[in-house]
Structure 1
Amino acid sequence: MRKKQNNEYKSPVAAFLWSVTMVGFGQLYNGQYTFGFMLLASEFTINTLSNLNPSIHHSFHGDFIKAHDVVNYHWGLFYPSLYGFSIWQAYYRAIVMNYQKEGKEPPEKVYLTGFCIGLVVGMNLGVYWHHYFLDHILLFKVLSSPVFNGIFLGIIVGFAGHLLEKLQSKLKVDEHGRKG
């Protein structure tokens, strides 16, 4: 049986932003319903087992010690990977779908890899090392929250990863001296 091809344009930016909003929403936007609901179920499971929502609640109320104490870090460190993967996959899948809609071969280049890997690494470091700000640097007290520090470092390292990826692609030169 032949698979029905969707001829609707999918904005990679919209897919990216839907995934930023909630894990799996970008996949639902792209029409990947089974995969999107699997990611949503994973998000719900990890969120619940890590006590992420109570930590967010305490963070927004300025009770950073309680935000730290309530998190189950064994589960909490899974969340950044799921989040980063969801963003990357939705963005790239929208690009591939648009190429297929036009009857073209999908690009060999993979987009936003540096940003998403940097996001995951930064978020994990931020979640894991947030207590350093709580104990040593009172000026950045807001970063003593595992939630805020994870987001802050995730964004910074994500953009650094994106810049490194762009720099690497500009420096990549094939044997004929052309930029790749």
Structure 2
Amino acid sequence: MRQSRHYKSPYAAMLWSCVLPGFGQFYNRDYIVGSLLIGLEFIVNLNSNLNLSLLETFNGDIHSAHHVIDYRWALFYPSIYGYAIWQALNSAKANNNKLDGKEVVHRTYLSGFFIGVVLGMDFGLFWHDSSFFSHFPVMKFLDFPVLNGLLLGLMTGTLAHIIENKIYRKSHISKK
């Protein structure tokens, strides 16, 4: 067991997990969870050819970006990515509450946002190859699988966060 716990910035933990799923857990000293997430990230990333699709996206080659990626594996990546960021943030907040002597709250933070991000990224990967984009040349950049997933993920995550806050506020007001 750990002898001493140090303050952990929830946002630093979250950003480390944005860099690579599992790094935020290492920052929080959750080595088992971090190792598992890094292992899953590498397995899914290698089998989906996600990095090759990103490379083709940055090179501007839509055709290659579509054909190099294996969507059967790529659809797992948003779940691993979203969970790693969410878990790192909430683990750091729980650690800091213990340090401050506060009771550990059984509430999680930004759950709606990360559920929305995962769903939006999955839908973006799934629906990226749409004839809709051929009618609007200004939006042609969304025809890339990863960019469409990121944009749709951020949009649904923001919407889910707003909905979560409305429900949470209503339930808190009705309890008082």
Q: TM-score range by the shorter chain?
A: over 0.9
Letter in 2 for 1:104: K
Following superposition of structure 1 onto structure 2, how do residues 51-130 of structure 1 map, counting pairs within 5 Å? 51-130=49-128
* Shift of residue 20, structure 1, vs aligned partner: 1.1
Secondary structure, in 3 states, of the residue corresponding to 1:23? Answer: coil
| Structure 2: segments with no counterpart, 5+ residues | none
Please give the per-residue CA displacement for 1:33-70, whole angstroms capped at 9, x wherever unaligned: 22112111110110000000100000011111210111
Secondary structure, in 3 states, of the residue corresponding to 1:131? Answer: coil
Q: Tell me what 1:160 maps to.
A: 159
My pick for the range that moved more, 56-65 or 97-106, is: 97-106
| Structure 1: segments with no counterpart, 5+ residues | none
User: How has the CA–CA distance of structure 1 residues 158 and 175 changed in structure 2, closer, same or farther, with 3 Å as cutoff?
Assistant: closer
RMSD, matched Cα: 1.5
Whole-Å separation in 2 of the counterparts to 1:90 and 1:158: 17
Whole-Å separation in 2 of the counterparts to 1:136 and 1:5: 61
Secondary structure, in 3 states, of the residue corresponding to 2:128? Answer: helix
Whole-Å separation in 1 of the counterparts to 2:163 and 2:21: 25
Q: Tell me what 2:171 maps to.
A: 172
Letter in 2 for 1:149: N
Q: Does 1:4 align with 2:2?
A: yes
Q: Is the 8 A contact 2:134 2:140 kept in 1?
A: no
User: How has the CA–CA distance of structure 1 residues 152 and 175 changed in structure 2, closer, same or farther, with 3 Å as cutoff?
Assistant: closer
Q: Is the 8 A contact 1:6 1:101 kept in 2?
A: no
Q: Tell me what 1:44 maps to.
A: 42
Please give the per-residue CA displacement for 1:8-41, whole angstroms capped at 9, x wherever unaligned: 1001111111111111111011011221121111
* Shift of residue 113, structure 1, vs aligned partner: 0.2
Q: Does 1:17 align with 2:1?
A: no
User: How has the CA–CA distance of structure 1 residues 61 and 94 changed in structure 2, closer, same or farther, with 3 Å as cutoff?
Assistant: same
Scaled by the length of structure 2, the TM-score of the pair is 0.93
Q: Tell me what 1:151 maps to.
A: 150
Secondary structure, in 3 states, of the residue corresponding to 2:129? Answer: helix
